[in-house]
């Protein structure tokens, strides 16, 4: 049951689109910064397979420039 | 509230990301992140501005049941970004002191007797009416505070100025930032800083003028240090009269003789002109030149009156005026080496450096406080370093709502929530919003704070209601004002949370709800309004100061003006109050927005905060290109020709030392709250007198030995501190005023700036003796 948090950087001018794209993904909670081109992405997946699937979907997002991990936890 | 392990891990994940974001993007805000989701271990976290200084840190207070049990910095607030100082972290303990006043007390046959609050409020209303009947409306007065919630000050102003019809409303902020107000008004035509705390991350140079930020504004000071760490070319210059923790952390510490900051500021301007560092494009378009009266006095006598008169001059007049202020001449007056004056001028004059000047009491508690404010603005105006990111002359306030409640609501004798009592249009606006006849509002100001206490002594004022402040510790030349307040035929009401020397002289003590025990608002130094909800219940029979005033007003027959219910009065008052500021120059955020966010800066226009005023790029009130100083009719900021004039009292053969007074990190003002917090009290258990080691050695004074400090007004004995956290130069001593056992203000002088009427607590003459 992995929990991760990231700073999600949108492509230029794509903050709103990234917010929309991430909101449509399962296991994702998003908190946009009010005054910066930045979002916090919190992922909470039930197992490793779901986590891998989610990672693939994240990599495929055009609106996402990069992710910087801030926190990671996986149960033994 | 229950929290499972998974929720806790997610909370930590969210916190980690928010902290990382704050590190990478100083000032980043995640307003949508609901603090109520941050439950941990059965603790519910609620936001509130800190109770103490004017920085306006937002705190998250952890509540378990009915009790506040923990504090942490609010990561969503751009002011403190999750940080707190030692007072902030321990702030909730002020709620739970053992001797908290929880019941009303009334003096009967010389003894204070508990009575129901309603009975005490009846007595207050009746006494006020009787006093008005016998002695007239100007015989009753309200003395409030920069620690008043905005609604407290607003209803006080409405009752006294709108309903009773007296301008006898003052607040202790007169003692801490009146010179900042008159400095802003005379230079820009409007009050409060043009910049914001984001300047701290944008500036290349910080000059702190008589300002020990390391102890007085520690969170902002830490932001400054972080900026210097992240951008290694950044410099901090401490310009002060004594060496403090701020001096030790600065890149350069420059000491000047008391009062001579006036001469040094002029010398900096001299150098800027001499070296061709004037920003002519800015000056030609946005600045005009003026001079006022000189030899303006010190206000030490009763009924002192002064009115300045501005005369328009030109740049050449300024140049001619400054010819006496060469660095070499000023070195003789100030003790500041000419090379250091030139260094300061070069920092301000360098077109590639952004410069922010910070000041607090050193410049404001000054018998020429308005002038020195004007002169620092002059430096920024000549170089065009103003109203843009990183370029900011900035007076930091000492109290949590000196700006919000005193400067914005206008709880000073000459002020209204919008404008001044002297202006018929401003009176009309107030009468309309307050629903009172316009004739009720007296066009003449009455007494500023010092004169108000003189009037109480003389008997011109017979009834005074004091809320959220402790003047029997803080008034300069204190003995006169305490004796005056205790005279026969005076009636003093004190709304308080703990016994103090002020409640000792009261005829009625009203038990006040404190800070997060009631809903309210503060307004911080950077024009940020901050809302707090009621987080814990009011103890005993305590009530909010706002409600106390409303109840008395109703008992006096002003039900129509104070119709609000207990459930919604704070919101209702806010909605009425913001009508006074409904223009792009000062629009306040709606209640709903304030409730959601950790503070909102005004002017709040079309859903946007204004970070830099007078700059068309950021300020929607600007009508001109680039900059528009719209507070003045000529749409220009005013450069003032203000000379150096000596202080009211200087050391002489009989009283050979300067006395400088002030604060310490651990204690809040007179210490009535923080001395009841065990850890703060233990860290700084009692006051002391700082003495220069050479003076101490010469006089045979050792660390911790008893020293008698005397002035022409009084004396006291306290322990010496040598090479402590601060170190005064030879010929000066410093005493903090937080400890009511040592009333240093019995020694100080009640001289004030004739324009701002703010007393000078930094300079008077004393002698020292081994006790």
Q: What is the CATH number of the domain that holds B690?
A: 2.40.40.20
- Whether residue B25 and residue A36 make contact (CB cut-off 8 A), yes or no, is yes
Q: Is the pLDDT of residue B38 over 60?
A: no
Read off φ and ψ for residue B510, nearest 5 degrees: -100, 130
Q: Is the pLDDT of residue B1 over 60?
A: no
- Whether residue A71 and residue B21 make contact (CB cut-off 8 A), yes or no, is no
Give the domain range for residue B198: 192-400
User: Among B400, B422, B446, where does a domain finish?
Assistant: B400
**Is B59 a member of any domain?**
yes
**What is the percent of chain B where pLDDT is above 90?**
93
Contact B690, B721 (CB under 8 A): yes
Is B584 an interface residue toward A (CB < 8 Å)? no
Tell me the average pLDDT of chain B.
96
One digit per residue, the tens of pLDDT, for chain A of length 76 reads: 799 999 999 999 999 999 999 989 999 999 999 888 999 999 999 998 999 999 999 999 999 999 999 999 987 5
Partners of residue B392 on adjacent β-strands: B356
- Whether residue A40 and residue B30 make contact (CB cut-off 8 A), yes or no, is yes
- Reported as a single tens digit per residue, the pLDDT across B209-248 is 999 999 999 999 999 999 999 999 999 999 999 999 999 9
Of A39, A68, A45, whose CA–CA distance to B10 is shortest? A45
Contact B694, B115 (CB under 8 A): no
Point out the catalytic residue in the list B142, B176, B196, B622.
B176
What was the pLDDT predicted at B36?
41
Partners of residue B512 on adjacent β-strands: B543
User: Among B34, B69, B96, where does a domain finish?
Assistant: B96
Is B30 an interface residue toward A (CB < 8 Å)? yes
At which residue do the structure tokens 């802003």 appear? B184
What was the pLDDT predicted at A76?
59
Model confidence at B37, in pLDDT bands (50, 70, 90)? very low
CA B635 to CA B627: how far, in whole Å?
9
Distance from CA of A29 to the nearest CA of B (A): 10
The yes-or-no answer on residue B398 being catalytic is yes
**Domains held by chain B: number:** 4
Q: Tell which phi-psi region holds residue B65, choosing left (phi > 0), alpha (psi between -120 and 50) or beta.
A: left
| B434 and B447 together in one domain | yes
- Whether residue B10 and residue A3 make contact (CB cut-off 8 A), yes or no, is yes
At which residue do the structure tokens 């003790």 appear? B335
Chain A residues lying within 8 Å of B13, measured CB to CB: 3-5, 42, 70-71, 73
Contact B727, B689 (CB under 8 A): no
Model confidence at B12, in pLDDT bands (50, 70, 90)? confident
Q: How far is CA B49 from CA B18, B155, B521, in A?
A: 19, 21, 8
CA B655 to CA B524: how far, in whole Å?
39
Of B521, B394, B450, B528, whose CA–CA distance to B174 is shortest? B450
Q: Is the pLDDT of residue B33 over 60?
A: no
Distance from CA of B23 to the nearest CA of A (A): 12
What was the pLDDT predicted at B27?
74
Mean pLDDT over B166-170 rounds to 98
The yes-or-no answer on residue B12 being catalytic is no
**Is B446 a member of any domain?**
yes
Provide the chain B residues 66-125 that lie in CB contact (below 8 A) with chain A.
78
CA B262 to CA B330: how far, in whole Å?
10
Model confidence at B31, in pLDDT bands (50, 70, 90)? low
CA B593 to CA B587: how far, in whole Å?
13
Distance from CA of B33 to the nearest CA of A (A): 6
Chain A residues lying within 8 Å of B16, measured CB to CB: 5, 70-71
What was the pLDDT predicted at A45?
93
What was the pLDDT predicted at B61?
95
Q: What is the pTM of this model?
A: 0.87
- Reported as a single tens digit per residue, the pLDDT across B392-450 is 999 999 999 999 999 999 999 999 999 999 999 999 999 999 999 999 999 999 999 99
Mean pLDDT over B31-48 rounds to 64
Q: Is the pLDDT of residue B153 over 50?
A: yes
What was the pLDDT predicted at B568?
97
- Whether residue B13 and residue A33 make contact (CB cut-off 8 A), yes or no, is no
Q: Is the pLDDT of residue B540 over 90?
A: yes
**Is B706 a member of any domain?**
yes
- Whether residue A40 and residue B21 make contact (CB cut-off 8 A), yes or no, is yes
Q: What is the DSSP letter of B137?
A: G
| B250 and B317 together in one domain | yes
Distance from CA of B397 to the nearest CA of A (A): 26
User: Which CATH number goes with the domain that contains B23?
Assistant: 3.30.200.210
Contact B341, B288 (CB under 8 A): no
Q: What is the DSSP letter of B727?
A: B
Distance from CA of B11 to the nearest CA of A (A): 10
Task: Please state the domain extents for chain A.
Answer: 10-26+45-62
- Whether residue A40 and residue B27 make contact (CB cut-off 8 A), yes or no, is no
The 3-state secondary structure of B53-65 reads CCCCCEEEEEEEC
Classify B220 as helix, strand or coil: helix
| B547 and B678 together in one domain | no
| B235 and B317 together in one domain | yes
**Is B269 a member of any domain?**
yes
**Is B598 a member of any domain?**
no
| Interface residues from chain A to B (CB-CB < 8 Å) | 1, 3-7, 29, 31-36, 38, 40-42, 44, 68, 70-71, 73
**Is B256 a member of any domain?**
yes
CA B631 to CA B641: how far, in whole Å?
20
**Is B651 a member of any domain?**
no
| B366 and B441 together in one domain | no
Query: What angle is formed at CA B336 by the lines to CA B335 and CA B338, rounded to 5 degrees?
Result: 120
- Reported as a single tens digit per residue, the pLDDT across B660-715 is 999 999 999 999 999 999 999 999 999 999 999 999 999 999 999 999 999 999 99
Please tell me whether the interface predicted TM-score (ipTM) of this complex is above 0.95.
yes
Please state which of the ranges A42-56, B303-317, B330-344, B645-659 shows the lowest mean pLDDT.
A42-56
CA B218 to CA B661: how far, in whole Å?
19
- Whether residue A38 and residue B25 make contact (CB cut-off 8 A), yes or no, is yes
| B395 and B408 together in one domain | no
Q: In the structure encoding, which two tokens stand for residue A35, read together?
A: 């005054």
**Is B477 a member of any domain?**
yes
User: Which CATH number goes with the domain that contains B155?
Assistant: 3.40.50.740
CA B605 to CA B603: how far, in whole Å?
6
| B134 and B206 together in one domain | no
Contact B501, B740 (CB under 8 A): yes
Model confidence at B652, in pLDDT bands (50, 70, 90)? very high
Partners of residue A4 on adjacent β-strands: A43, A72
Residue B557: CB partners within 8 Å, gap ≥ 6? none
| B298 and B240 together in one domain | yes
Q: What is the DSSP letter of B512?
A: B
User: Among B378, B400, B422, where does a domain finish?
Assistant: B400
Mean pLDDT over B365-388 rounds to 98
Q: DSSP secondary structure string, B521-589?
A: EEE-TTSEEEEE---SPPPTT-B-HHHHHHHHHHHTT-TTT----TTTHHHHHHHHHGGGG-STTTPPP
Q: In the structure encoding, which two tokens stand for residue B558, read together?
A: 């002003």
Helix (DSSP H) and strand (DSSP E) numbers for chain B: 26, 29
Task: Starting at the earlier edge strand, list the strands of the sheet with A3-10.
Answer: A28-32, A39-44, A3-10, A64-73
- Reported as a single tens digit per residue, the pLDDT across B244-267 is 999 999 999 999 999 999 999 999
Which chain B residue has its CA at the smallest distance from A72's CA?
Answer: B13
């Amino acid at each position: 049951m992995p929990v991760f948090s990231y700073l999600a950087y949108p492509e230029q001018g794509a903050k709103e689109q990234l917010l929309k794209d991430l909101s449509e993904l399962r296991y994702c909670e998003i908190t946009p910064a009010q005054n910066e081109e930045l979002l916090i992405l919190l992922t909470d997946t039930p197992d490793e397979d779901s986590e891998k699937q989610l990672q693939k979907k994240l990599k495929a997002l055009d609106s996402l420039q990069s992710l910087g991990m801030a926190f990671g936890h996986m149960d033994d | 509230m229950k929290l499972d392990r998974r929720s806790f891990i997610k909370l930590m994940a969210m916190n980690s990301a928010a902290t990382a974001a704050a590190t990478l993007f100083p000032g980043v805000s995640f307003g949508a992140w609901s603090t109520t989701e941050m439950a941990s271990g059965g603790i519910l976290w609620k936001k509130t501005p800190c109770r103490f200084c004017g920085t306006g840190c937002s705190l998250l207070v952890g509540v378990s049941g009915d009790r506040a049990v923990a504090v942490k910095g609010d990561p969503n607030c751009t002011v403190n970004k999750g940080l707190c100082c030692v007072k902030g972290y321990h702030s909730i303990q002020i709620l739970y002191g053992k001797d908290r006043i929880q019941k009303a007390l009334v003096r009967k046959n010389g003894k204070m007797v508990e009575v129901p609050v309603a009975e005490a409020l009846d007595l207050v209303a009746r006494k006020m009416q009787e006093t008005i009947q016998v002695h007239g409306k100007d015989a009753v007065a309200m003395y409030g505070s920069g620690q008043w919630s905005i609604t407290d000050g607003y209803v006080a102003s409405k009752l006294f100025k709108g309903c009773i019809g007296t301008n006898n409303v003052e607040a202790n902020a007169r003692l801490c930032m009146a010179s900042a107000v008159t400095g802003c008004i005379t230079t820009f035509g409007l009050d409060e800083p043009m910049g914001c705390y984001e300047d701290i991350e944008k500036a290349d140079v910080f000059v702190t003028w008589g300002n020990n930020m390391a102890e007085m504004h520690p969170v902002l000071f830490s932001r400054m240090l972080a900026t210097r760490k992240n951008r290694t070319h950044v410099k901090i210059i401490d310009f002060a009269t004594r060496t403090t923790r701020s001096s030790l952390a600065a890149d350069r510490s420059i000491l000047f003789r008391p009062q001579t900051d006036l001469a040094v500021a002029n010398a900096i301007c001299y150098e800027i002109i001499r070296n061709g560092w004037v920003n002519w494009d800015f000056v030609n378009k946005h600045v005009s030149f003026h001079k006022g009266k000189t030899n303006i006095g010190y206000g030490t006598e009763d009924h002192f009156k002064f009115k300045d008169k501005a005369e328009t001059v030109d740049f050449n007049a300024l140049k001619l005026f400054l010819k006496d202020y060469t660095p070499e001449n000023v070195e003789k007056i100030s003790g500041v080496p000419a090379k250091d004056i030139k260094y300061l001028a070069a920092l301000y004059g360098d077109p590639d450096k952004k410069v922010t000047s910070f000041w607090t009491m050193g410049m404001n508690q000054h018998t020429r406080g308005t002038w020195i404010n004007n002169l620092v603005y002059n430096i920024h105006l000549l170089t065009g370093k103003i109203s843009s990111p990183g370029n900011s002359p900035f007076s930091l306030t000492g109290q949590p709502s000196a700006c919000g409640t005193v400067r914005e609501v206008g709880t000073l004798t000459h002020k209204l929530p919008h404008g001044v009592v002297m202006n018929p249009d401003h009176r009309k606006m107030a009468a309309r919003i307050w629903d009172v006849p316009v004739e009720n509002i007296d066009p003449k100001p009455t007494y500023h704070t010092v004169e108000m206490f003189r009037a109480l002594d003389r008997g011109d004022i017979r009834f005074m209601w004091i809320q959220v402040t402790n003047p029997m510790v803080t008034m300069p030349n204190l003995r006169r004002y305490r004796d005056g307040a205790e005279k026969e035929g005076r009636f003093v009401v004190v709304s308080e949370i703990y016994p103090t020397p002020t409640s000792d002289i009261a005829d009625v003590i009203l038990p006040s709800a404190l800070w997060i025990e009631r809903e309210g608002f503060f307004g911080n130094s950077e024009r940020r309004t901050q809302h707090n909800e009621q987080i814990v219940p009011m103890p005993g029979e305590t009530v909010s100061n706002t409600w106390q005033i409303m109840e008395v007003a109703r008992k006096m027959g002003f039900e129509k003006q104070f119709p609000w219910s207990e459930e919604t009065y704070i919101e209702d008052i806010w909605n009425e109050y913001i009508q006074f500021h409904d223009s792009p120059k000062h629009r306040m955020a709606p209640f709903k927005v304030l409730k959601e966010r950790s503070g909102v800066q005004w002017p709040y226009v079309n859903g946007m905060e204004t970070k830099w005023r007078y700059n068309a790029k950021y300020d929607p009130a600007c009508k001109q290109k680039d900059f528009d100083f719209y507070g003045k009719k000529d749409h220009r900021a005013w450069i003032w020709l203000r000379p150096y004039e000596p202080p009211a009292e200087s050391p002489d053969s009989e009283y050979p030392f300067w006395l400088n007074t002030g604060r310490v990190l651990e204690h809040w003002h007179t210490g009535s709250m923080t001395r009841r917090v065990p850890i703060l009290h233990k860290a700084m258990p009692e006051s002391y007198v700082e003495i220069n080691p050479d003076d101490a050695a010469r006089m045979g004074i050792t660390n911790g030995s008893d020293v008698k400090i005397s002035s022409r007004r009084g004396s006291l004995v306290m322990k010496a501190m040598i090479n402590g956290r601060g170190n005064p130069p030879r010929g000066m001593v410093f005493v903090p005023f937080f400890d009511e056992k040592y009333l240093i203000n019995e020694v100080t002088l009640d001289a004030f700036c004739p324009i701002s009427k703010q007393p000078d607590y930094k300079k008077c003459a004393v002698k020292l003796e081994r006790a």
